[in-house]
Chains A and B, each alone.
Chain A
Amino acid sequence: GQNIDQPTEMTATEGAIVQINCTYQTSGFNGLFWYQQHAGEAPTFLSYNVLDGLEEKGRFSSFLSRSKGYSYLLLKELQMKDSASYLCAVNQAGTALIFGKGTTLSVSS
């Protein structure tokens, strides 16, 4: 079967670092995406990992371990505007993106 798990909610304060974990069990794995979605808006692309290791892009980094079925998104120097839902999605054999339910991050001052 297909299963993607991520925490439902997380809270953090401005300037802090937060790590959002994602574990997955899917067939036909062809990479893992992270998207950010603000309330009432469309998901926006953050990162794509297809090989094991860490990908860094400004304040955001994403890590993948294919053997463990595990990924995380690391957000540094948190800002209020980072309050959003973060979606982990597995690229399944080049067709479907299989999404988790999302992690709602609340950043407070």
Chain B
Amino acid sequence: ETGVTQSPTHLIKTRGQQVTLRCSSQSGHNTVSWYQQALGQGPQFIFQYYREEENGRGNFPPRFSGLQFPNYSSELNVNALELDDSALYLCASSLDFKVRYFGPGTRLLVL
């Protein structure tokens, strides 16, 4: 167990809808990053937050957005859902960009 939690565990949405995924980081960690993992692929970096500021972003469109709160928990928001957004969404927390510890993930299905 890493101490990183995510909610919900599973989610089903339809195209065009919006979704919010949540992550609680491990105690003492100040950095949260989000990854999208399609079936049979490695995780793809979405973005990273350090002390409530976004400090890195991967090749994802602006409809993927996020927040980090003062307690270092985080949200990932995805607007205008597309079928290709169906994936496992992983949150990882770390202290100062070192070892990333992953949460159990949220499995999103877009119909």
A97 and B100 contact, CB distance less than 8 A: yes
Main secondary structure of the interface of A (DSSP, over half): strand
Closest chain-A Cβ to B66's Cβ sits at a distance in Å of: 14
User: How big is the A interface, by class?
Assistant: 20 to 34
Q: A87-B43, A99-B43, A102-B42 are in contact. Are A41 and B97 (CB under 8 A)?
A: no
CA distance in complex: A103, B105 (Å): 20
Instruction: Say whether A71 faces chain B, with CB atoms less than 8 Å apart.
Output: no
Closest chain-A Cβ to B51's Cβ sits at a distance in Å of: 13
**B58: which A residues are within 8 A, CB to CB?**
96
CA distance in complex: A41, B43 (Å): 12
Of the residues A45, A87, A96, contact of B42 by C-beta under 8 Å: A87
B102 and A44 contact, CB distance less than 8 A: yes
Report which A residues bind B (CB closer than 8 A): 4, 30, 33, 35, 41-45, 48, 87, 89, 91, 93-102
Q: What are 24 A-B contacts defined by CB distance under 8 Å?
A: A30-B97, A33-B99, A35-B102, A41-B104, A42-B90, A42-B104, A42-B105, A43-B43, A43-B102, A44-B2, A45-B99, A45-B100, A45-B101, A95-B33, A95-B45, A95-B55, A95-B56, A96-B45, A96-B48, A96-B58, A97-B35, A97-B92, A97-B100, A99-B35
Report which B residues bind A (CB closer than 8 A): 2, 33, 35, 40-45, 48, 55-56, 58, 90, 92, 97-105
